[in-house]
């Protein structure tokens, strides 16, 4: 069962199309990658951010955030 928060249908479809069905799936994506999904709006992104934070999860670091 999905632990994704309730959000608008376009955002749910965008995540499903990308193969994202759980909050843990989001930890493999950067926030900009998720934000760029067609149908993902700022409110849905905020809901995801809050739900992840409640569970101690974070989006993947961007390549420029990684140590060299």
Q: Give the pTM.
A: 0.85
Residue labelled with tokens 């140590």: 67
Residue 21 sits in which domain range? 9-60
For residue 50, tell me if it sits in a domain. Answer: yes
Task: Tally the domains of the chain.
Answer: 1
Q: Is the dihedral of CA 18, 19, 21, 24 positive or negative?
A: negative
Characterize 43-68 residue by residue with b for buried, 16 or more Cβ atoms within 10 angstroms of its Cβ, and e for exposed.
ebbebbbebbeeeeeebeeeeeeeee
Within a domain: 2: no
Per-residue pLDDT of the chain (68 residues; tens, 9 = 90+): 689 999 999 999 999 999 999 999 999 999 999 999 999 999 999 999 999 999 999 999 875 544 44
């Amino acid at each position: 069962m999905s632990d994704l928060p309730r959000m608008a249908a376009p955002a749910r479809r965008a995540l499903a199309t990308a193969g994202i069905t759980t909050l843990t799936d989001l930890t493999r994506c950067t926030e900009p990658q998720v934000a760029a999904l067609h149908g993902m709006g700022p409110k849905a992104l905020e809901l995801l951010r809050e739900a992840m934070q409640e569970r101690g999860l974070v989006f993947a670091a961007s390549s420029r955030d990684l140590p060299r």
